[in-house]
Amino acid sequence: MSEGMLADYPTLRSVAEHYNYWVTIFLMVSGLYIIVAKSNMIKTLIGMALFQTSVYLLYLSPAKILGATPPILAEGFERYSNPLPHVLILTAIVVGVATLAMGLALVVRIHEAFGTIEEDEVVDLVERDDAAE
Amino acid sequence: MVLLTLIAVITIAVIRVHNLFAVVVLFSAYSFLMASVMLVLDAPDVALTEAAVGAGISTVLLLGALHLTRTSETPPRFSNWLPLVVAGGIGAMLIWGTWEMPGFGLADTPVNTGVGSAYLERSYPETHVPNVVTAVLASYRGYDTLGEVTVVFVAAIGVLMLLRRPGEKED
């Protein structure tokens, strides 16, 4: 959408300017909802990854400057987008996949020990063991 | 904007679908869309990493975990209105907060006038690397990257220790 088209409609313009933030917030809240509401552990880990990707979007959206180019210096370009959030998010992506791998390994071990990947059923089994002792 | 809407739709599907295999495939598509959005947001380096790591390695890891466990999800036994209210309330408060945020794509926001522009000016004379993201990652924030590599190393050790068979001898 061009700037001129939206200039006459302040509300619409405001919505367009904040749309990125709203989708970010929707993703964040969805991740939170999955983590709290779902008892399947793999689904919970996917919820965690969703939350993480929403944070990537939260960092990258303000770094974009309209009319600028990616922060790779070259002749003939004057304005570049902000490079610092890109660096931070590069680190965050790699750390995110490391935590995901760790969580999945834990889930596999829990499946070996209890035969289930549902949190509710694991809690039941542990309580039954405690009662038997 | 279209891409972001697609991402939101896929997120709803991820929440609703109970077959975990379908969820993993949807999440892979989600990561590719996210990589496309990052490309539009002028972050090609991050987009490449997200496409390789988010859509590639994460999907492989999740599929491997599904192979070792099982692929269906039983519906939770507690009602989900409380998480829905909590998530909706937090979301509403966050959206209320965004009205004070500066608009998208402006150059004079606090984020874009701070240390980022200083890196843009200084990195080429000081490091002679045209890609500013690489210069900052490897040079100015080198210790940060060292810490990141440490995290990956520790995670790899942890995964290896967790996945060792119980009967296996330690030697």
Interface predicted TM-score of the whole assembly (ipTM), two decimals = 0.83
Nearest residue, CB atoms, A26 vs list B8, B58, B120: B8
What total number of domains does chain A contain? Answer: 1
Residue A6: per-residue pLDDT? 58
Among all chains, which residue has been given the structure tokens 């989600």?
Answer: B30
Closest residue in A to B23 (Cα) is A43
Put simply, whether the predicted model's pTM sits higher than 0.80 gets the answer yes
Q: Is the pLDDT of residue A1 over 50?
A: no
Contact at CB, B41 and A64, closer than 8 angstroms: yes
pLDDT band for position A4 (50/70/90)? low
Closest residue in A to B151 (Cα) is A95
Closest residue in B to A92 (Cα) is B148
Question: Considering only CB atoms, which chain A residues are within 8 Å of B98?
Answer: 18, 21-22, 25
Indicate the range of A85-89, A118-122, B115-119 predicted with least confidence.
B115-119
Among all chains, which residue has been given the structure tokens 């600028």?
Answer: A68
Which amino acid belongs to residue B150? T
Residue A71: per-residue pLDDT? 79
* CATH number of the domain encompassing residue A25: 1.10.287.3510
Residue A81: domain span? 3-132
Most confident segment among A3-17, A42-56, A119-133 = A42-56
Mark the ranges of chain B whose per-residue pLDDT is less than 50: 171
Whether B26 contacts B14, CB under 8 Å: yes
Average pLDDT, chain A: 83
Percent of chain A whose pLDDT exceeds 90: 14
Question: Considering only CB atoms, which chain B residues are within 8 Å of A55?
Answer: none
Tokens found for residue A11: 């509300």
Which amino acid belongs to residue B162? L
Distances (CA, A) of A110 to A58, A105, B109: 33, 9, 47
Reference A123, options A39, A44, A35, A32; nearest CA is A39
Residue B171: per-residue pLDDT? 47
Q: Is the pLDDT of residue A56 over 50?
A: yes
The DSSP secondary-structure symbol of A81 reads -
Select the residue from A45, A86, A111, A112 to test the B interface by mutation, using most B Cβ atoms within 10 A.
A86
CB contacts < 8 Å between A and B, how many? 271
Task: Summarize the confidence of residues A102-126 as an average pLDDT.
Answer: 86
